[in-house]
C-alpha cells in the first residue's frame, strides 16, 4: 500500500499497538501529518474504493465536502504511541525552555521567508533557553542552520521520515517524544503536528512569527487566512491551555482511537501469535 503510511514510523507504531512484532502494510491510506484539508497531500492518487484512515472527524467532513468517500476516523499514530509508551510520555521533572519548530518544506517544495525575522521574534517572546528543531530538509541547508546557531539557539533535527519504504526511522516519533518531554513550551510559526504533539503532553503552545510561504502551495488549503479564521485563539504566543487542549484532542482524534483488534480488522492485519 501507499509508502506514506510508513512515514515517521507510523505503520510500525500501529503494528506495535495491535500486538504485532513487525511492521505491516496497511490496506488503505493513513494520514501522515496534521492537515487542514482532506487529510492527504494534494494530488494523492487514491485507488478506487480504498479506505482512508484519518486522525479526526473534522478531516473526514472536509473530505466528504470534496466528494471523497471511504473514510474511517482512527486518531493520530502519536496518540497510539502515548498508549504504548506511557512512562516516556511523562514530562521530565527538570523540563525547561522552549522548542521551536519553523515551518518547513520537503523534497518537492521549498519554503521562503525570513528566518532572521523569526529569530528576532523568538527572542522577543521567549524567556528561557531555546532549541530550534529543523525538519531534515532545512537541517541539511548550512545557510539556514547557521542563522539559528548564530543566534545562540541549540539546533537539532528529529531525523528523516523515510520515502518509498526506504530509510524510515521507526523510532522517529519516539525520539520526538523523548525530546519534547524535556521542555515547558512548544512553539512554531504555523499550526502543525508538532504543536499538537507538544500540547498533548501539557506543553504550553504558541504560534507566532513570519508564517513563511511554501513554494507553489495549493490554493485549496486556504493559506494562513483560513487557519486564522478557523482557529483564531491558536495564533498567539501563549495559547490558553484549556483551549489548546480542546483543539488538540479534536485534531489528534484522542476520543476516536480504536482497540487493537479494531486496528487489525480495519488494516487487514493478522492476529498476533
Indicate whether 71 and 19 sit together in one domain: yes
Indicate whether 191 and 136 sit together in one domain: yes
Instruction: Check whether 106 has a pLDDT greater than 90.
Output: no
Whole-number mean pLDDT of the chain? 91
Instruction: Check whether 218 has a pLDDT greater than 70.
Output: no
Of the candidates 48, 79, 41, 19, the residue with the CA atom closest to the CA atom of residue 221 = 41
pLDDT in tens, 82-94: 999 998 888 788 8
| H-run or E-run covering 52 | strand 52-54
Start-to-end CA span in the chain (Å)? 23
Beta-ladder partners of 54: 73
> Ramachandran region of residue 179, left (φ > 0), alpha (ψ -120 to 50) or beta?
alpha
Grid coordinates representing 136 are 531534515
Indicate whether 134 and 78 sit together in one domain: no
Quote the domain boundaries for residue 134: 98-239
The pLDDT assigned to 265 comes to 97
248 found inside a domain:
no
Indicate whether 37 and 64 sit together in one domain: yes
The pLDDT assigned to 210 comes to 87
Rounded-to-10 torsion of CA 139, 233, 59, 106: -10
> Ramachandran region of residue 34, left (φ > 0), alpha (ψ -120 to 50) or beta?
beta
Indicate whether 77 and 122 sit together in one domain: no
Indicate whether 66 and 109 sit together in one domain: no
Grid coordinates representing 191 are 499550526
111 found inside a domain:
yes
How do the residues of the chain divide into helix, strand and coil, expressed in percent and rounded to 5?
40, 15, 50
pLDDT in tens, 108-163: 556 667 899 999 999 999 998 999 999 888 888 899 999 999 999 999 999 887 66
Q: In this predicted structure, which of 75-84, 111-120, 246-255 has the lowest mean pLDDT? A: 111-120
19 found inside a domain:
yes
117 found inside a domain:
yes
Grid coordinates representing 109 are 517544495
Q: Name the pTM for this structure.
A: 0.93
The pLDDT assigned to 110 comes to 63
Domain CATH number, residue 206: 3.40.50
Indicate whether 50 and 122 sit together in one domain: no
- Do residues 96 and 128 touch, judged by C-beta distance below 8 A? yes
Indicate whether 133 and 196 sit together in one domain: yes
Instruction: Check whether 105 has a pLDDT greater than 70.
Output: no
Indicate whether 71 and 193 sit together in one domain: no
Indicate whether 76 and 105 sit together in one domain: no
Q: What is the DSSP string of 63-101?
A: HHHTT---EEE---HHHHHHHH-TTTTSPPTT--SEEEE
93 found inside a domain:
no
Indicate whether 70 and 189 sit together in one domain: no
Indicate whether 44 and 128 sit together in one domain: no
Amino acid at each position: 500500500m501507499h509508502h506514506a503510511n510508513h512515514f515517521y514510523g507510523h505503520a510500525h507504531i500501529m503494528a506495535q499497538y495491535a500486538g504485532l512484532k513487525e511492521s505491516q502494510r496497511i490496506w488503505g491510506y493513513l494520514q501522515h501529518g496534521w492537515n487542514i484539508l482532506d487529510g492527504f497531500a494534494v494530488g494523492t492518487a487514491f485507488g478506487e474504493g480504498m479506505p482512508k484512515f484519518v486522525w479526526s472527524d473534522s478531516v473526514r467532513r472536509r473530505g466528504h465536502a470534496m466528494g471523497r468517500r471511504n473514510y474511517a476516523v482512527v486518531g493520530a499514530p502519536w496518540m497510539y504511541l502515548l498508549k504504548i509508551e506511557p512512562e516516556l510520555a511523562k514530562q521530565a521533572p527538570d523540563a525547561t525552555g522552549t522548542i521551536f519548530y519553523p515551518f518547513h518544506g520537503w523534497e518537492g517544495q521549498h519554503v521562503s521567508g525570513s528566518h532572521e525575522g523569526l529569530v528576532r521574534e523568538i527572542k522577543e517572546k521567549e524567556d528561557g533557553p531555546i532549541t530550534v528543531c529543523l525538519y531534515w530538509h532545512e537541517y541539511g541547508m548550512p545557510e539556514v542552520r547557521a542563522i539559528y546557531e548564530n543566534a545562540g539557539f541549540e539546533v537539532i533535527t528529529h531525523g528523516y521520515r523515510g520515502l518509498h519504504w526506504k530509510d524510515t526511522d521507526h523510532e522517529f516519533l519516539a525520539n520526538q517524544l523523548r525530546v519534547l518531554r524535556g521542555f515547558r513550551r512548544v512553539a512554531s510559526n504555523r499550526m502543525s503536528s508538532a504543536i499538537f504533539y507538544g500540547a498533548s503532553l501539557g506543553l504550553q503552545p504558541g504560534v507566532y512569527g513570519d508564517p513563511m510561504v511554501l513554494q507553489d502551495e495549493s490554493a485549496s488549503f486556504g493559506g494562513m487566512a483560513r487557519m486564522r479564521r478557523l482557529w483564531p485563539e491558536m495564533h498567539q504566543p501563549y495559547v490558553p491551555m484549556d483551549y489548546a487542549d480542546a483543539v488538540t484532542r479534536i485534531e489528534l482524534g484522542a476520543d476516536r482511537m480504536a482497540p487493537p483488534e479494531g486496528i487489525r480488522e480495519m488494516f487487514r492485519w493478522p492476529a498476533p501469535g
